[in-house]
Chain A
Amino acid sequence: MEKQQSTEINLKKTIVTAIVGYVCLVVLVYFLMGYQLHFRASRGDLEQPAAETGTVELVQGTVVEQTFSAKIQRLQSVSVQWGTYYRSNSGTVTMELINQIDGSVVMSQSFAATEIAEGGLTTMTAEEPIETVYDAPLLLRLYADSQPGSAVSPMMCLTAPEPEEDATPFALMLNGTPTEGELCFSAAGEDYIWTGLHYWEFAAGFGAVLALAAVLIWHRYKKGKHSYVVNALIAVRKYRFLIRQLVDRDFKTKYKRSVLGVFWSFLNPLLTMAVQYVVFSSLFRFDVPYYPAYLIIGIVFFNFFSESTSLALGSIIGNAGLITKVYVPKYIYPLTRVLSSLVNLVISLIPLLLVTLVSGLMPTKAYFLVPFALVCLAVFSLGIGLLLSALMVFFRDIQFLWGVLSMIWMYLTPIFYPVSILPKSVAWVLDVNPLYYFITFARTCFIDGISPEPVIYAQCMMMALITLLIGALVFRKTQDRFVLYL
């Protein structure tokens, strides 16, 4: 029997496990991401301008034409907005999309005028996405067979949009007469994702790098030299029991003297959600689909972040009695605090799932992608936690500063409000807010039921890893001086 934690590791087994794990992961992700791995909503989609006036009454013999081009690789649909003069109309209106290069009709569809409501849209949808019209000059033609007095009118805005550089400007023609302004229409489709197209090449390339690294590590290990990876593995093995004990301790003492105990981990997000739901859906009337689910995802994620960072913040100070007497790698203290918050987070996923089910969302395979966001969030929080716990040793007022900072951070993260209410001047904050990415990732999985596009994965991972790296470097650089300030 071993008295001490063993420092021997079975490197061969670890390497084999890592490689098998990698292959499984690659296949699993391919399957889970499915359609979203290959296509995303096109960046070249044309938005519908706000309607300002009607064009002409679309009676028989009248033609409304709008030229445009769109950088959409797979065009799926084109919509037009209509005015009805607030009366019931009759006849049929027809939408045609013509490729101006060869004059061919690529899409065409007719709609009964009776069906069209004031301000309503007609959308013609391609049976198969059209791949031949990328950036091509297109003509949208509208005509009808209605009689005057019972015809609808397509809407328009009065100013044509600024044409993009070296693109032909869009033109609106009413009965062949060029007119200033633009038809209220939109075009949507999807683009191929380059990474998705080359998924297997990427996976293989990265796998090859991994295998090469494994070979190198193995080689060094055989020669008796210990690389970083081997040392890390030994440390994990050696301190596994201690980490488990400390996490256990945090968890046991947290609810030790409460009647409901662990049930609070469960109840807390539910209660917060209920309060915020009442406040924000009746007072501010945010119009967000599946608002309870939207709320609780934000709450659970942000709660974890604020709990784990504020626990980690005091971890070095709080264990001063031990640090000055026993040698234990000091990163263990912030690490265990983040891990015990993680246990909490996993428990609060139960109320989260309950809320999504009650809101009428059906589980999809995208739910299995959520752990990625959780891992990124935990790694990110660990990075911040390491940074804070180190700074806290030298400057005790960090704790008050962090209280204020995390509150500001909360308001700058769309937890209870929709992204759309942010004015343009503030919206840039979201682009640099890692929490926004993690929360959006989870919301896409839970609420839309689909995988986020591949680039979001890369962004989440980069933000988490860079934060961890900064935190770890600061911690490492200062840890030898902790004892002197405790």
Chain B
Amino acid sequence: MGKTVIEVNDVTMRFRMNNDRIMSLKEFVTTAVRGKLEYNEFTALDHVSFTVKQGETLGLIGRNGAGKSTMLKVISGILKPTEGTVRTEGNIVPMLELGSGFDMDLTGRENIFLNGAILGYSEEYLKAQYEEILAFSELGQFIEVPIRNYSSGMLARLAFSVAAMVQPEILIVDEILSVGDAAFQEKSRARMMELMGGGTTVLFVSHNMDQIREMCDKVIWLEQGRVKMAGTAKMVCDAYAL
């Protein structure tokens, strides 16, 4: 296996939560004056360390609230860890949920470029890949129509095509997209497998143990923000299933 592309070093993530979230200046002032401004600390990640090598597929499993999604956000740079460091190499592309980053008033084509730019791809690259993205999405002539007229299946196909047709170095998948009709689902699964086989590093969060066993090389089991177990997919999944 190749070099280390993700290095998570003793990461702790703590949130300060108001008892009820204060969202206005007035509330802030009145509660502060009454001396009721108190915070509850909540530790989402507790001294987590691991590394991922190039081309590996790492699965994150655990119960709801174990810190899986927080871990992904810390790795992609959206959240800054309270303690510890994360070092990554190469661009990180998250598999976006339906519609985020899309503008409903723009056409499918304009959205491909907008979304591609948000994901950090260059204009030349997107132009070169455009035909392929279009072909994969099976949208055909609808690509020139504002996407507010799309069905949810069409939207999901567009989203998946943009995220997966370009070759990210690190792909982040928070629950695999099962979108479109059966044929498209099969096609997207095949594409995922192809990406994972082709040198892309994948971080994969799922509650579906079959998918995890099938796709991952390594699995980390998080419980209440700590690494409960780390190892090969079979070993961790067997332990988790008990």
Give residues in A with beta carbon < 8 Å to B.
1-6, 238, 241-242, 244-246, 248-249, 252-253, 256-257, 321-328, 395-398, 401, 480, 483-485
Contacts and interface: CB of A to CB of B under 8 A. Distances in A.
Contact of B78 (A256, A396, A398, A483): A483
Given A253-B103, A397-B25, A483-B73, A5 B120 contact: yes
A1 B128 contact: yes
Contacts of B110: 248-249, 252
Interface string B22-55: 0111101000000000000000000000000000
Interface of B: 15-16, 21, 23-26, 28, 73, 76-80, 91-92, 94, 96-97, 99-101, 103, 105-106, 110, 113-114, 117-125, 128, 146, 166-167
A420 to B, nearest CB: 38
Contact of B121 (A5, A324, A401): A5
Contacts of A480: 80
A242 B117 contact: yes
Contacts of B77: 327
Contact of B125 (A3, A252, A327): A3
Contacts of A6: 122
Contact of A245 (B28, B91, B117): B117
Contacts of B96: 325-326
A58 B55 CA distance: 104
Given A397-B25, A401-B25, A321 B101 contact: yes
Contact of A249 (B23, B91, B106, B146): B106
B203 to A, nearest CB: 14
Contact of B76 (A3, A257, A327, A396): A327
Given A325-B100, A397-B24, A401-B25, 13 more contacts: A2-B124, A3-B122, A245-B114, A246-B114, A246-B117, A249-B110, A253-B103, A256-B105, A322-B101, A324-B78, A325-B97, A326-B101, A398-B25
Contacts of A323: 78
A252 B106 contact: yes
Contacts of A257: 105
A241 B124 CA distance: 10
Contacts of A2: 122, 124-125
Given A253-B106, A327-B78, A322 B128 contact: no
A383 B15 CA distance: 29
4 closest A-B pairs (Cβ-Cβ)? Answer: A327-B77, A321-B100, A245-B117, A395-B25
B120 A4 contact: yes
A485 B24 CA distance: 12
Contacts of B76: 326-327
A4 B121 contact: yes
B43 to A, nearest CB: 14
A395 B125 contact: no
B105 A252 contact: yes
A66 B67 CA distance: 89
B73 to A, nearest CB: 7
Contact of A3 (B23, B99, B100, B121): B121
B100 A322 contact: yes
18 contacts: A1-B124, A1-B128, A4-B125, A238-B120, A241-B117, A248-B110, A249-B103, A252-B105, A252-B106, A256-B105, A321-B99, A322-B100, A324-B78, A325-B101, A326-B96, A328-B118, A401-B25, A483-B78
B123 A241 contact: yes
A241 B122 contact: yes
Contact of A253 (B15, B105, B125): B105
Given A252-B106, A480-B80, A483-B73, A5 B122 contact: yes
A319 to B, nearest CB: 9
Contacts of B166: 3
A254 B86 CA distance: 40
A397 B91 CA distance: 37
B121 A395 contact: no
Nearest to B29: A395
